[in-house]
Amino acid sequence: MTTGFEKYDDIKVLYVEDDKLIRAGIQEMLSREIQNLLVATNGEEGLEIFNSEKPEIVITDIKMPRMDGLEMSRKIKKKSKNTQIIVTSAYSDTSFFIDSIDIGITQYVLKPIRREKLFDAINKSYEIITLQKKVNRQFQTIMKLYQAIEQSKSIIIITDDKLKINYVNPQFLEVTGYSLSEVLDIERKIPFEKVSALGKMENVLKTLQKGKVWKGEYENYKKNGEKYWELGSITPVKNEKGKITSFVNVAEDITELKKITEALKVSENKHRSLIENLGEGIGILDLDYNFTFSNPALEEMFNTKDIVGRNLADFSNKNQYGVFVEKSKIKQSEKKQFDLKIKTDDKSEKTLNITLTPQLDKLGKNIAGFFCIFKDITQLIKLIEQKEEAKKAAEKAYEIIEEKNYALNDLNAKLSKSEEKLSELNKVLVEYIKATGK
């Protein structure tokens, strides 16, 4: 059977009536449409139920024992202004209506109660409650947004469609040094251009006139004339007809970030210059041994200008490449040094000494590549080889000298013997002369 009325499943309704027969009839009628129906027999009992259950709608008779309907309604309204009260009464005296209006009652149903009249009053009350809930939700949302804007560390400015300031948040005041009274004049609105360089930039204004969002970083000025940097945007806000009603400027103070960025650039350029001017070759290899970076010294070693993107295998034979791959299997904290023979694009053969250091990924957990320092030791190896050859030649000469020394010693020994014999002969000759007189 269709009742013609809505189901009220999301609200509580309190019905207060002292007349047993009327209460039973109306309760039966209401319970068909209202799931959460509460019933009281007098004003005092009704107030107790209200305090514990907090119903959104109260339907009450006026004349009741212990506490009448008006007194109960007055106490309910003091505790909850938004509670909807529907009065049912057979009386229509002026004093009753005046008291009802003073209490805040706007819905009346005269006895005998007709179903249509009662549910019309309930429907109106339900619509008011629904509207109140919607307004409360919207208000809560607005308050959350307002609190978020007030507490935001972003600079926020809201203007009207003529770029006259309607609102600034505390962060704006803190960063710029302006006071609230200086930017929000009660009698006249302050132009946006007074507090922001964006208001004077033609490209920004042209973008906003087209109804588009402008984004970028820009230099701005504080109240004392001090320069600072902002990264921000200005967004046109349109109504349901597509007309611009206001603009919202949201910005971040990036002055310190700019300083850090500039310092990093200077440091990067200094290190890059240092690396580029090093006599040693600097190269970075990925896990597949492709060059991802090289300095001029490395390009000169490999006799090529396009080493980045090429693989180390392009410059070494299979065995040499295999040696490199095997020796590159190192742990995160390890560092290895070894020699590698290469052949450059112009067929020159070189020997390079490589210091291999693992590069970790952004999380610092896995090896993502290798930082390599290359030294051309080709000439050094040649010098070492020449030194070895000279050493061997010296050793050979020493052996020859030793052999000649042995021969000279033998000849000296023989000469010594000959001298001894000559001496003996001289002695014999002297004796002979003495003896013969010749």
> Tens-of-pLDDT digits for all 438 residues of the chain?
334 445 678 899 999 999 999 999 999 999 999 989 999 999 999 999 999 999 999 999 988 999 999 999 999 999 999 999 999 887 665 567 777 888 888 788 988 899 999 999 999 999 999 999 999 999 999 899 889 989 999 999 999 999 999 999 999 999 999 999 888 876 677 888 888 888 888 899 899 989 999 999 999 999 999 999 999 999 999 999 999 999 999 999 999 988 888 888 887 777 677 666 767 888 889 989 999 988 888 888 898 888 899 998 888 888 878 878 887 788 877 888 888 888 888 888 889 998 988 888 888 888 888 988 999 888 888 888 888 888 888 888 888 878 877 877 877 777 777 777 777 777 777 777 777 765
Q: For residue 359, is it within any domain?
A: yes
Count the domains in the chain.
3
Q: What is the pLDDT, as a whole number, of residue 5?
A: 45
Among 258, 291, 313, the domain-final residue is 258
Do 117 and 19 have their domain in common?
yes
Q: Are residues 170 and 70 in the same domain?
A: no
| 322 plus 354 within the same structural domain | yes
Same domain, 201 and 250: yes
CA distance 109 to 88: 5
CA atoms of 335 and 36, how far apart (whole Å): 77
Q: Would you state the pLDDT for residue 147?
A: 92
Residue 347: both structure tokens together? 């067929």
* Contact status, residue 49 vs residue 73, Cβ threshold 8 Å: no
Is 400 part of any domain? no
CA dist 225 → 177, 302, 355 (Å): 10, 56, 54
Look at residue 434 and tell me if it is in a domain: no
pLDDT of the residue at 93? 56
- Please tell me whether residues 128 and 161 are part of one structural domain: no
Give the domain range for residue 105: 8-138
Asked if 101 and 182 sit in the same domain, the reply is no
Whether 290 and 222 map to the same domain: the answer is no
Q: Is residue 115 part of a domain?
A: yes
Judgement on whether residues 237 and 310 belong to the same structural domain of the protein? no
- Note whether 175 and 133 are same-domain residues: no
Inside any domain, residue 178: yes
Report residue 396 as tokens: 């050979």
122 with 36, same domain: the answer is yes
Q: Note whether 26 and 127 are same-domain residues.
A: yes
Cα 110 from chain centroid? 66
For residue 92, the model assigns a pLDDT of 61
Per-residue confidence (pLDDT) for residue 327, from 0 to 100:
79
pLDDT confidence of residue 186: 66
* Residue 359, domain CATH: 3.30.450.20
Q: What is the CATH number of the domain that holds 32?
A: 3.40.50.2300
- Residue 437 counted as domain residue: no
For residue 186, being part of any structural domain is answered with yes
Domain boundary among 376, 409, 430: 376
Q: What pLDDT does residue 127 have?
A: 92
Residues 289 and 350 in one domain: yes
Mark which of 207, 225, 258 sits at the end of a domain: 258
Classify residue 224: in a domain, yes or no: yes
